[in-house]
Amino acid sequence: MVDLPAEFLERMKKLPGTDFGEFLKSYQKPAVKGLRFSWKARPDTIRKLISDWRLEKIPWADTGYFYPDDVRPGLSPYHDAGLFYIQEPSAMAVAEAAGISPDDVVLDLCAAPGGKSTRAAEIAKMLVCNEIIPSRAKILSSNIERMGIGNAIVCSAAPDRISDAFCAYFDVVIVDAPCSGEGMMRKDETAIREWSVENVNTCIQRQKEILRYADRCVKDGGKLVYSTCTFEPEENEIQIVHFLEDHPEYTVLVQKTFYPHTDRGEGQFYAVLKKGAGEPVRSREDLPALIRQAQKTLLSAGIHILRSGIMAGEHMTDKKKRDIYIPSHAEVMASDFESTPFENAADLSGEQQALSFLKGNQLSLCEESIRLKNDKDCFLGVYFDGYPLGLGKKTGGSLKNHLPKGLRRIS
């Protein structure tokens, strides 16, 4: 039984329409876990992992699955390859409810660590994902890279600066707002320790301010998607009521709260609002032009960009004065073994071999479980079961590891 704050429980007792007894019982059960397959995952791999890991479909997420407590997906090399994103199940509902279309230009204003961003990017034409805290922005950028996403810009700035740079620019704006985190209590003791009425009130004011700036970024006819992982009405339904009082041009398309005793998840609130009555005027620019335009805008505003599209590799001259190309880690992560554009590539079929590579080890190429595109000595992409792991270099009979040090596994 999770030891919940007494004052939090008193507030939950007064929550209209909630069966407090059943709510309390849900905290005698373990937290629910989920993963969402990415665009990279082949149908055969999905079928294999559904069977091996005993996955169960999440009804509100097209590519989401529950996984049991004894399964550790994060230890699999498929995780490093970006085949799936580990995400709390009810949180997956937000990007689905947003109704993003392939023509949409989307902003995720409070994006770290990237669960909603990585799903939005798979559907949208282009995504700008922002995180104000630099350390969290680096985690966001790493997840965008791991998932092989090429239609996103990652930046780090306060919401007011983003709204100044992108006034009425986006078809969809997602605000996964900082909140009191009550929906995290079953899986994270920090959420219990940090909960207080004072923190709830602080969050309410912060959310109101962020929503004000988010509104400025939405085109006429566009959508504003607001979400939290708390049960507090003042942070959820009442926050939306107050926003609508100040912004009567919006209407609510859909609104829902997930509770741990009514839905198989930890807790989430979302509301999808439409601005105006018409449809947004879609950008006719292609993706490269959109990325260049958005990057120029951010740079003009002095906003720090961590990632823009897929970072290219570099040309270098070797000791014999030959031009050689060194692919970037991002280039490798956005490709697969069958379609890699690099001169050479290595595909590992053994899981232990893949894990050894991910720890930064050098591999011997004499093993039959390694396929090469050709026998040329050069920098190359290294893959596991056809999926990207990172950069290596073939030198004679050895495959040297060139993974970024920060991405190498410790154990």
Among the listed residues 165, 167, 135, 137, the one whose alpha carbon sits nearest the alpha carbon of residue 152: 137
**Is 229 one of the catalytic residues?**
yes
Asked if the peptide bond before residue 113 counts as cis, ω within 30 degrees of 0, the response is yes
CA geometry: angle at 340 spanning 335 and 346, to 5°?
Answer: 105
Secondary structure (3-state) at 86: strand
Residues 75 and 52: beta-carbon distance below 8 Å: no
Give the C-alpha separation, 272 to 175, whole Å.
Answer: 10
> Where do runs of H (alpha helix) occur along 157-306?
159-165, 189-194, 197-217, 237-246, 287-300
Rounded to 5 degrees, φ, ψ at 135 are: -65, -40
Give the C-alpha separation, 2 to 9, whole Å.
Answer: 12
Residues 254 and 225: beta-carbon distance below 8 Å: no
Q: Which two tokens stand for residue 305?
A: 């960009």
Catalytic residue among 167, 229, 366, 378: 229
Residues 228 and 179: beta-carbon distance below 8 Å: yes
326: buried, middle or exposed (CB in 10 Å: 19+, 13-18, 0-12)?
A: middle
Catalytic residues: 229
